[in-house]
Each structure stands twice: as structure tokens, then as C-alpha cells.
Amino acid sequence: MVTKSDFMSPMLGLQGSLEDVSRVFERAQISPDLQWKSSTISE
């Protein structure tokens, strides 16, 4: 069984613009399609 989740619509409703949603996901540990990102981000 394969499932897909739409996480972008609720985030767009909360943030108000795609630019703001993009900023949220830039440093998030999860992607908009609910995939875990590697934590190799250096500051």
C-alpha cells in the first residue's frame, strides 16, 4: 500500500504565502512531502 500526504495546503493556510512556507522548510528536518532530511546543515 502506498499513501501520499498533502502537507503543503495546511502549511499554506497557516503561513499565507509559498515564500513563507519555503522559509519554514529550509531548515526543517522534514520535507513538504513528509520525508526526513539528513541533518548535515552547518551554520
Q: Domain residues of the chain, as ranges?
A: 1-30
pLDDT digits (tens, 9 = 90+) for 8-36: 888 889 999 999 988 988 888 988 777 88
Instruction: Report residue 39's pLDDT band, with 50, 70 and 90 as the boundaries.
Output: low
What is the Cα–Cα distance from 42 to 27, expressed in whole angstroms?
Answer: 10
Q: What is the pLDDT of residue 43?
A: 53
Burial (Cβ within 10 Å: 0-12, 13-18, ≥19) of residue 7: middle
Rounded CA separation 25/12 (Å): 12
- The amino acid at 34: L
What grid cell was written down for 23?
A: 522559509
Rounded to the nearest 10 degrees, what angle do helices 8-15 and 18-26 cross at? 110
